[in-house]
């Protein structure tokens, strides 16, 4: 696990990636990298940023989603847009210590994005999109049946639906709000059963997208988010 170099204490995943992101921006700015310049290798970035390989890869994936970086097979990772600490689009955060309020406020935004994304995905999905979504759903179901919950796998399923819209702004918006959204998949209120009742609706959502039925996709997404809202209110009492 990566550590805070000042205290030696392990960093939470969200904090680790955020700090690594800040360090990456600072490095690009200091090195005066221009559009089209190649970044150092993963190993060099690990040494420069002081983090592990998994954090570097997650960070590169996030910057790719924001349209800042591009990884080219066999060639390396390249800067697509000039960035600095003043210009890079940073994550959108809620400045509230109250988890209930943060989740409910984020849910309002999530509802708008995910309902629209599921409807667009139902209209535009390709057979390859469907294969990926079903694979993510299968992994989510496997882990859920094994552990009774599935955080990372649940997020991967929803991300696959965003990608199936073929509108990069959906993915970029998710990356911008990823820290806020990840609270839904991080056992809120220390309850592994959070939103567990929504589990069956992920399969019916997939079926709606497979059938290219955008209205059914809208309904199933709303069912999932209704369970989430109910659990936030019930578990925060």
| Per-residue pLDDT tens digits of the chain, which is 237 residues long | 444 443 344 444 556 677 888 888 888 888 888 889 999 999 999 998 888 999 899 888 888 877 788 999 889 999 987 776 655 554 555 566 688 888 899 899 999 999 999 999 999 999 999 999 999 999 999 999 998 888 889 989 999 999 999 998 888 787 777 777 878 888 888 888 999 999 999 999 999 999 999 999 999 999 999 999 999 999 988
CATH H-level, domain 99-235: superfamily = GntR ligand-binding domain-like (1.20.120.530)
Can you tell me the distance from the alpha carbon of 227 to that of 93, in angstroms, rounded to the nearest whole number? 23
Buried b (16+ CB within 10 A) or exposed e, 26-36: eebbeeebeee
Q: CA angle, 165 as apex, 15 and 65 as ends, to 5°?
A: 30
- Exposed, middle or buried by CB within 10 Å (0-12, 13-18, 19+), for 40? middle
- Exposed, middle or buried by CB within 10 Å (0-12, 13-18, 19+), for 9? exposed
The CATH number for 13-79, chosen from 1.10.10.10, 1.10.569.10, 3.90.79.10, 3.40.190.10, is 1.10.10.10
Q: Where in the chain is the domain with CATH 1.20.120.530?
A: 99-235
Within 13 Å, how many C-alpha atoms sit on residue 114's CB side? 23
Closest CA to 177 of 14, 56, 4: 14
How many angstroms separate the Cα of 213 from the Cα of each of 50, 113, 161, 175, 208? 47, 18, 14, 27, 5
- Exposed, middle or buried by CB within 10 Å (0-12, 13-18, 19+), for 184? buried
Whole-prediction pTM: 0.65
Q: Where in the chain is the domain with CATH 1.10.10.10?
A: 13-79
């Amino acid at each position: 696990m990566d550590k805070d170099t000042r205290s030696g204490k392990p960093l939470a995943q969200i904090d680790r990636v955020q700090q690594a992101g800040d360090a990456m921006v600072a490095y690009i700015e200091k090195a005066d990298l221009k559009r089209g310049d190649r970044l150092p290798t993963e190993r060099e970035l690990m040494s420069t940023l002081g983090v592990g390989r998994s954090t570097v890869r997650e960070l590169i994936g996030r910057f790719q989603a924001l349209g800042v970086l591009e990884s080219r097979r066999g060639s390396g990772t390249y800067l697509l847009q000039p960035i600095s600490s003043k210009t890079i689009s940073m994550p959108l955060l809620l400045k509230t210590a109250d988890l209930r309020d943060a989740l409910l406020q984020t849910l309002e935004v999530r509802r708008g994005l995910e309902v629209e994304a599921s409807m667009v995905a139902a209209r535009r999905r390709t057979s390859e999109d469907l294969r990926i979504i079903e694979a993510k759903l299968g992994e989510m179901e496997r882990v859920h049946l094994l552990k009774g919950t599935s955080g990372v796998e649940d997020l991967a399923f929803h991300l696959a639906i965003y990608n199936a819209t073929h509108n990069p702004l959906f993915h970029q918006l998710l990356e911008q709000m990823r820290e806020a959204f990840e609270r839904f998949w991080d056992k809120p209120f220390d309850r592994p059963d959070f939103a567990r009742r929504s589990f069956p609706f992920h399969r019916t959502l997939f079926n709606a997208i497979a059938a290219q039925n955008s209205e059914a996709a809208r309904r199933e997404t709303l069912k999932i988010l209704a369970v989430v809202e109910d659990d936030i209110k019930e578990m925060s009492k």
